[in-house]
């Protein structure tokens, strides 16, 4: 008999095979069934994507007030009211000072006129010329006083109309940053002096532009005031260890401004610990914590890089926590940094899968929003992603650790764009990075990057 066996694409063995018209590959009967199952799963995934998109469309249709541009207009309204109130305060102060000066001048002239009248009465010598002079003086003083009372405000309503029209006509702006950064922390070699760092990981910028750094190899949290030449140790710094006043390779830090404390992912000690003043308490223990986040409601999120999951805890209640992103069906492999947006969607840097995943609130499964096409340096790839943040327009910024760059992805796009670094290769120049980790924006949208192997924090200023 003629041998009609060919190589199965899956098992690479000679068997009777069947051709798939879709991919033009040959499969044995066992792996043909498996191939069909894979196609069914892919169809299921596409169906889920379709249903999510349909739900999003319906939500936006039913809740037009939640449209992002409406939020921008609301913010414009608040800002405009604040500016008007500020201008009103300034003008009140100007008018009060001006009116007091004018009244003082009028009062001096009035007192002088009063003395003239008294003198005429005492001497009892006057004629028409004297009376006309007094009448003219009295008329001038009266006119000055009336002029002060008759001042009015010129209102330019058109400027407000133009300003709101401009807002409505604006399209989303894709921000850009200067390619040469300013070193705002460290950059003096790796060591433990107060002007040095050693392998920084997470970075947090507060509203006053103070910088908090998880100084990984120095086993401490450092705070650098805005424009300071050196930092101060606010947690740890007592050597590597597990005592309450020690840390062991901290990976992330966030400032809980409501309670005036800092929360630390004490990675090496497998605990999340809270410091305020010089007091410490363990919030969560027996956890391979890596990344931290707090949402608008004050819930704490922690990634567990060994269990491949992210859990949410209510402040003050640290039992099991609620699972919000999991490694079911191999969805995560060593999750590190995380971000939570206004809708409580969770973004996770999936390090060993070289991608960023997103879980909507209460979702069972996550979806890929950046990378996911294998490890590499193409614009559709990532290499061991680290820090992740999302802006108000839903644009995702990823510290592409292995490619020494920060890349921006718009959800649904097949590839991202390089924001800083990358194109200049790894290095320690102002336009280079070497293992970027944590990311943070300040209120002006300047971008801060924990440049791990250069032992510094780089500030890339936004181009307005």
Whole-angstrom Cα Rg for the chain: 34
CATH tag for 176-463 (out of 3.10.20.600, 3.90.1560.10, 2.60.40.10, 2.120.10.30): 2.120.10.30
pLDDT digits (tens, 9 = 90+) for 40-53: 988 988 988 888 88
pLDDT digits (tens, 9 = 90+) for 299-350: 999 999 999 999 999 887 877 899 999 866 668 999 999 999 999 999 999 9
The domain locations on the chain are 6-62, 79-170, 176-463
Distance (Å, whole) CA 302 – CA 254: 11
- Confidence at residue 170, expressed as pLDDT on a 0 to 100 scale: 47
pLDDT digits (tens, 9 = 90+) for 72-104: 788 888 888 888 888 888 888 888 887 888 888
- Confidence at residue 436, expressed as pLDDT on a 0 to 100 scale: 97
The mean per-residue pLDDT over the stretch 355-378 comes to 93
Please determine, for residue 362, whether its predicted confidence score (pLDDT) is greater than 80.
yes
């Amino acid at each position: 008999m003629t041998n009609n066996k060919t190589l199965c694409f899956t098992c690479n063995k000679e068997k009777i095979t069947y051709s798939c018209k879709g991919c033009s590959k040959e499969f044995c009967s066992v792996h043909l069934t498996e191939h069909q199952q894979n196609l069914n799963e892919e169809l299921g995934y596409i169906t889920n994507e379709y249903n999510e998109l349909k739900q999003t469309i319906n939500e936006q249709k039913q809740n037009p007030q939640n449209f992002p541009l409406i939020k921008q207009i609301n913010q414009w309204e608040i800002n405009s009211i604040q500016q008007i109130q500020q201008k009103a305060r300034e003008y009140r102060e100007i008018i009060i000072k001006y009116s007091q000066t004018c009244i003082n001048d009028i009062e001096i002239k009035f007192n002088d006129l009063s003395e003239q009248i008294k003198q005429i009465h005492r001497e009892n010598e006057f004629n028409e010329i004297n009376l006309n002079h007094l009448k003219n003086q009295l008329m001038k003083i009266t006119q000055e006083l009336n002029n002060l009372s008759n001042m009015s405000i010129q209102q330019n309503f058109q400027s407000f109309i133009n300003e709101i029209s401009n807002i409505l006509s604006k399209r989303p702006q894709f921000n850009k940053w200067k390619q040469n950064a300013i070193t705002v922390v460290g950059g003096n070699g790796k060591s433990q002096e107060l002007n040095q760092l050693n392998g920084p990981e997470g970075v947090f910028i507060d509203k006053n532009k103070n910088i908090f750094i998880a100084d990984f190899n120095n086993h401490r949290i450092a705070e650098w005031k805005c424009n300071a030449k050196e930092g101060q140790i606010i947690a740890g710094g007592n050597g590597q260890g597990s005592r309450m006043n020690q840390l062991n390779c901290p990976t992330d830090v966030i400032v809980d401004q409501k309670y005036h404390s800092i929360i630390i992912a004490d990675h090496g000690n497998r605990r999340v610990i809270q410091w305020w003043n010089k007091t410490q308490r363990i919030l969560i223990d027996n956890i391979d914590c890596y990344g931290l986040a707090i949402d608008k409601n004050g819930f704490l999120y922690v990634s567990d890089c060994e269990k491949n999951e992210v859990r949410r805890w209510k402040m003050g209640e640290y039992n099991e926590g609620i699972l919000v992103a999991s490694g079911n069906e191999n969805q995560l492999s060593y999750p590190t940094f995380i971000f939570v947006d206004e809708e409580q969607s969770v973004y996770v840097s999936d390090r060993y899968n070289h991608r960023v995943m997103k879980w909507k609130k209460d979702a069972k499964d996550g979806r890929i929003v950046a990378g996911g096409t294998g490890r590499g340096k193409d614009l559709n790839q990532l290499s061991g992603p680290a820090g992740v943040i999302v802006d108000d327009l839903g644009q995702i910024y990823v510290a592409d650790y292995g490619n020494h760059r920060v890349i921006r992805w718009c959800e649904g796009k097949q590839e991202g764009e390089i924001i800083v670094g990358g194109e200049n290769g790894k290095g320690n120049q102002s336009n280079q990075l070497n293992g970027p980790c944590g990311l943070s924006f300040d209120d002006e949208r300047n971008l801060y990057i924990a440049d791990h192997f250069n032992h510094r924090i780089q500030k890339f200023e936004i181009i307005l």
